[in-house]
Amino acid sequence: MDGHQSLKSPVFDVKVWVCLSDEFKVIDVSKSILGTITKRKPKLDGLDSLQQELKNELQGKKFLLILDDNWSEDRKKWDHLRTPFLVGKPGSKIIVTTRSKDVAKLVTSVPNVLYLLNVMSEEESWSLFESVAFPEGSDKAFPTLKKIGQGIVDKCKGLPLAINEVWSSTSKILPSLWLSYYHLPHHIQQCFAYFSLFPKYYQFQMEEMVMLWVAEGLIERTPEMEPHEDVARGYFTHMLLNFFIQESSSGGSGFFLHDLVHDLAKYVSRGLCVDWLNINSQSRRLSYIQWEDKVLLYQFKVQKLTYLRTFLPLRKRHNELLLPRRNWASEPYLDNKILSDMLSNFKFLRVLSLEGYPISMLPASVGDMKLLRYLNISRTHIECLPPRICHLYELQFLILCSCQKLERLPANIVDLVNLRYLNVDGTRLKEMPDGIGRLKNLQMLSKLLLGKEKKITNSGLNNITDKHVIDAHFEKKEYVDELVLDWGWIDERDTTLDEGVLDAIQAHENLKELTVNCYGGKSLSTWIVGMTPSFNIMLRSLCINSCFNLETLPPLGNLRALLNLTIMGSKCIKSLGVEFCGSSSGCLPESIEELTITNFPYLESLSGVLPTLKNLKWLE
């Protein structure tokens, strides 16, 4: 449109605005729309007859229909409701407003085309507030009232519904927020209430909340037995799609709660999550901002909070918490005696964080916290962990990142059978304790730090990326004789990252035994057999087990020292021929003494392989 044209509002023959209830009925909405159009109460009761009369009223007319505040995710209900509106004149519009992205995706006529409304500017916010609070104009209002009104507008952060309701509502919690909250499934309501642990304006990470929710036991077990972390991420995404959580506009991956949503979280937590203002001897979860904590710890005798389940001091980061700025290079202080007295009384803790405190030793009493599931001692001065920490058999999350003086882990850490997450980024660890691969529940290991073990078993590779593998420097482990790589059952997971992880391993050529279990890629990496015959590969035993997605096997002619070859389980390989041998002679290495090929349901031919095996012991 150029500057000589004027913007004209569309002309509609029929205009209807209907506010949908929480669980609306199609017949009631149809009656309401028909009544608005005809200016009389419909006499018909059947849905079919109502919708037929609606069609008659709309036939050949351009209409505007606004369906306000839709919550229903029932596609069948939506299809029934919109049936009469397919007869309108070209240019007719249906506008649906909702607080749920899932609902918006359901009703849109163009896939993935949604209109996300931004918040209002300060000027627009004040204009709306002025219209509802001062109908005759704010010029006639007392200065005190005007100042209060400006404070209310600032608290609403540009949300028009909040501005309108906060003036008309006598309740601290807005009715629209209550409706949104009650629409959440019960198990997600508990996780939403947990946000009350954090102060207003605090920016949190999704993975931070996932770990805390899992550790607190807030995640409901699903019939599909999904990992708790995946279920928790689903909860987080649900709240994000329904606008309980907002993405930070400052960039990065942070999230926060709107002021009024935070008020709701505080209210529904019913005092279970507290700070220094409302603490008492029965409190279960305590969080606070570090720095002024020393005096408060003395004043409130926090060591007497024997029923405490969560002790969560929060770091004061100027880019994540909009609080008065101080000297960010300095550290919060926690007196050693307070720490020792406090922890010795916290027998029921599930969550303990001492992140950022300049402590050099973790009290031995931590080993008595038999129920502890989450321990975060990141950015401390700790040099070693007490051996009794290995008695915390319920521990699921151990976060040690940026402990720059930490050089080793206790040998018995492999006894933490429920450990799901171990973060050692930014430490001075040179190796992991022997047997770290026995931790079957480990979902995330931030770095693979392998020591001078003759045999290394790495299970849980399905949760490790190629970057983690590169950090492990397998190519420098010349003393490793045997390597076992285990991804976990293919049918139970996503296998898209498997090839990148295996390619990144690049084991040293001195490796003598290699086992690859449940690998989900379509081909094996070239480092296993060497790029050319000049490679001095010392591999004597190769076992490829339950790698059902494999379409080809590597050419084995370069493995001149190979004695034992076992290949078990493939649903895609149909033939093993000369290309499988790989050498110029078209033969497998003459050194092979034992060959096992089994569970190849679609194998049709085995040509050019068997006659070359002079020392063959057996073939299955």
Domain chopping of the chain, boundaries = 14-107, 122-169, 179-269, 472-619
Give me 363's structure tokens.
Answer: 């009290």
Q: What is the pLDDT of residue 231?
A: 92
Q: Which residues contact 474 (CB under 8 A, 6 or more apart)?
A: 450, 480, 483, 505, 506, 507, 508
Q: Confidence band (pLDDT; 50, 70, 90) for 301?
A: low
Which carries the bigger pLDDT value, residue 433 or residue 541? 541
* Helix or strand holding residue 598 (H, E): strand 594-598
Which carries the bigger pLDDT value, residue 523 or residue 145? 523
For 221-349, strand residue ranges (E) read 246-247, 255-256, 273-274, 285-289, 310-314
Which carries the bigger pLDDT value, residue 469 or residue 183? 183
Q: What is the pLDDT of residue 503?
A: 85
Which carries the bigger pLDDT value, residue 219 or residue 434? 219
Nearest to 573 by CA among 609, 607, 549: 549
Is pLDDT above 70 for 419? yes
Is pLDDT above 60 for 171? no
Length of the chain: 620
- Which of these ranges, 91-95, 342-346, 461-465, has the smallest mean pLDDT? 461-465
How far the first Cα of the chain sits from its last, in Å, is 78
Rg value, the chain, Cα: 32
- Which of these ranges, 287-296, 395-404, 563-572, has the smallest mean pLDDT? 287-296
For 249-377, strand residue ranges (E) read 255-256, 273-274, 285-289, 310-314, 351-353, 374-376
For range 146-173, the mean pLDDT: 63
d(CA 191, CA 218): 7
Give, in order, the Cα–Cα distances in Å from 510 to each of 31, 475, 538.
Answer: 80, 10, 5
Is pLDDT above 60 for 326? no
Q: Confidence band (pLDDT; 50, 70, 90) for 619?
A: very low
* Max mean pLDDT range (164-168, 376-380, 614-618): 376-380
Q: What is the pLDDT of residue 233?
A: 92
Q: DSSP secondary structure string, 207-254?
A: HHHHHHHHHTT-PPPPTT---HHHHHHHHHHHHHHTTSSEE-TTSTT-
Q: What is the pLDDT of residue 508?
A: 78
Q: What is the pLDDT of residue 374?
A: 97
d(CA 439, CA 443): 9
Q: Confidence band (pLDDT; 50, 70, 90) for 235?
A: very high
Q: What is the pLDDT of residue 535?
A: 56
Q: What is the pLDDT of residue 319?
A: 44
For range 508-526, the mean pLDDT: 85
Q: What is the pLDDT of residue 518?
A: 84
Q: What is the pLDDT of residue 3?
A: 37
Residue pair 137/130 in contact (Cβ under 8 Å)? The answer is yes
- Residue 312, strand partner residues: 287
Give me 287's structure tokens.
Answer: 């969080």
**pLDDT digits over 69-128, tens only?**
777 788 888 888 888 888 888 888 888 888 777 788 887 877 767 777 777 777 777 777
Q: What is the pLDDT of residue 191?
A: 94
d(CA 227, CA 175): 35
Is pLDDT above 90 for 22? no
Which carries the bigger pLDDT value, residue 305 or residue 84? 84
- Residue 484, strand partner residues: 457, 515
Q: What is the pLDDT of residue 145?
A: 59
For range 163-181, the mean pLDDT: 61
Mean pLDDT, the chain, integer: 76
Q: DSSP secondary structure string, 464-487?
A: --HHHHHHH-GGG-TT--EEEEE-
Q: What is the pLDDT of residue 223?
A: 77
d(CA 536, CA 561): 9
For range 381-405, the mean pLDDT: 92
Residue pair 327/350 in contact (Cβ under 8 Å)? The answer is no
Q: What is the pLDDT of residue 225?
A: 75
Order of strands, edge to edge, in the sheet holding 541-545? 455-458, 482-486, 513-517, 541-545, 564-568, 594-598
CA dihedral 599, 603, 608, 611 (to 10 degrees): 40
Q: What is the pLDDT of residue 373?
A: 96
- Which of these ranges, 297-306, 307-316, 460-469, has the smallest mean pLDDT? 460-469
Residue pair 152/126 in contact (Cβ under 8 Å)? The answer is no
For range 601-608, the mean pLDDT: 70
Q: Residue by residue, what is the 3-state secondary structure of 149-210?
A: HHHHHHHHCCCHHHHHHHHHCCCCCCHHHHHHHHCCCHHHHHHHHHHHHCCCCCCECHHHHH
**CATH placement of domain 179-269:** 1.10.10.10
- Which of these ranges, 48-62, 245-259, 426-440, 548-562, has the smallest mean pLDDT? 426-440
- Which of these ranges, 2-11, 150-159, 162-171, 237-246, has the smallest mean pLDDT? 2-11
- Which of these ranges, 65-74, 457-466, 475-484, has the smallest mean pLDDT? 457-466
For range 5-21, the mean pLDDT: 71
Give, in order, the Cα–Cα distances in Å from 464 to each of 52, 310, 330, 442.
Answer: 59, 29, 35, 10
Tell me the three state secondary structure of residue 514. Answer: strand
